Amino acid sequence: MKKLIPAYIRVPLIFFTVFGAMEYFIDSGDHPAFIKYPMVSVFLFVFLFLLIAIEVTISAVDAISYQLMTEEQRAKLEDAKSLSLSDIPFIKWFMGLMIKSKPVESEGELLLDHDYDGIKELDNDLPPWWVYLFYACIVFAVVYLVRFEIMGGDNQEMEYQKEVAAAKIAIEEYKKTAPDVMDESKVTLLTDATEISKGKTIFMEKCVACHRPDAGGNIGPNLTDDHWILGGGIKNVFHTISNGGRDGKGMIAWQKNGLKPTQIQQVASYVLSLQGSNPKDGKAAEGDVWVDPTASKTPATSAVSVPDVVTPTKK
């Protein structure tokens, strides 16, 4: 029996099906798998070669078998080759149900009396498939009208907006409990001894080269006094460690260089715990005295007015 799909269609179809499956299942990032992984290209080449070889072999076997057939067998083979999909009983029945067309020989029964310059008209009914599709469109239109115009159903844009809003709520809920989601707007000063100890460990590993083990300052400023170049307090210190110091000569941005937000919170809290420790031979103060703007002010007890912030000479 003649193959339903010719070899010149079958071979590319099988090859590109395998090719697409490999590209889909192999994670190769932004590059195609056959470019990123040379072994994939080798496999595809060998697979295509074998596929062609199999087709050639089958064709050769068919040719030899045909030569060995008797005239009667060849006649039966030719009859089998003339079969098509429309000869399959189920397909034949289905097409007749959907089309219900009459053979050309019976068209005389359908002729109408109309005659336009020798052109006559057939009284054919609409094909059933067209009628069914027309009724389906009417049903769909009624359902659509009731669902979206009468009952106020969400259209695609509204569904998208609701999904985005739900996703934002889910993200915010996740941030409330996620251990490594921290930023300067919600960071708090840690006072627990265990957290401070973790911050000290990070400080000794990352910060002593510039600030000395006692935080007295070396290349970087003294971290034990009340002067700050980029602002004091947990939020400012967290921001400085995360995003780096002054351009060109300040500290690197540790959030991009290996420290997680919770680790930055720990080391910032440890640094602030060293306030007033006054290490020996500490570096001279730099920057301005920082006073927490949210702290309550103590009422003055004398007639002399004392300013809240003392601004020293910049270093």
| Mean pLDDT across the chain | 81
Place of tokens 């103060």: 285
User: How much is the pLDDT for 61?
Assistant: 86
User: How much is the pLDDT for 265?
Assistant: 92
Q: Choose the weakest-confidence range: 16-30, 122-136, 154-168, 172-186.
A: 172-186
pLDDT mean over 83-87:
60
Directed axis angle between helix 128-144 and helix 89-99, to 10°? Answer: 70
- Tens digits of residue pLDDT in 255-268: 888 888 889 999 99
Cα separation, 141 vs 200, in Å, equals: 69
Burial class (CB in 10 A: 0-12, 13-18, 19+), 254: buried
In sequence order, what are the beta bridge partners of 288?
A: 228
* Percent above pLDDT 70 for the chain: 84
pLDDT mean over 4-8:
71
Give the Cβ contact number of residue 216 at 10 Å. 20
* Selected residue with higher pLDDT from 118 and 84: 118
User: How much is the pLDDT for 134?
Assistant: 94
Predicted confidence band at 223 (pLDDT cuts at 50, 70, 90)?
very high
pLDDT mean over 241-258:
84
Place of tokens 């040379």: 38
Predicted confidence band at 312 (pLDDT cuts at 50, 70, 90)?
very low
